[in-house]
Structure 1
């Protein structure tokens, strides 16, 4: 996914979080709306597609493109959460 697509996805995530009053939403919570908007074709393994995008952004140091995301890094795993960005 290119950076402009990620930024557009960020707006969709922000709107979804606001409309559903969600805090600390997990990737699996966001997948249905991202499929609906055409970012992913299906949900395979509870948000795996989005997790892969997040991992790639993290490795490339581009997580700032999704300001709603928060990551908790553990010894072996990363846990991802999404929250509304207050402007």
Structure 2
């Protein structure tokens, strides 16, 4: 039987088919460039990703830290009334 990705995993680009969930998540998460969501959604995402900062998978921790930092920066910018650009 072959190892075929199914569901949302099939949509996540990865060069390695044996990649951990953290490795599969890292690529698309690190390429986020804009946020066009309400501030409460950003705040919720910040809280939801926080547990991944202590995950046993180092790739998951790295991706979570990068996304956490970007979300925190977006919330700080929103609090000051500035628009954030990650170009």
TM-score range, shorter chain: 0.3 to 0.5
TM-score of the two chains, using structure 2 as the length reference = 0.33
Higher-helix-fraction structure: 2
Which structure carries more relative contact order (alpha carbon 8 Å, separation 6+)?
1
Computing the radius of gyration over CA atoms, which structure comes out larger, 1 or 2?
2
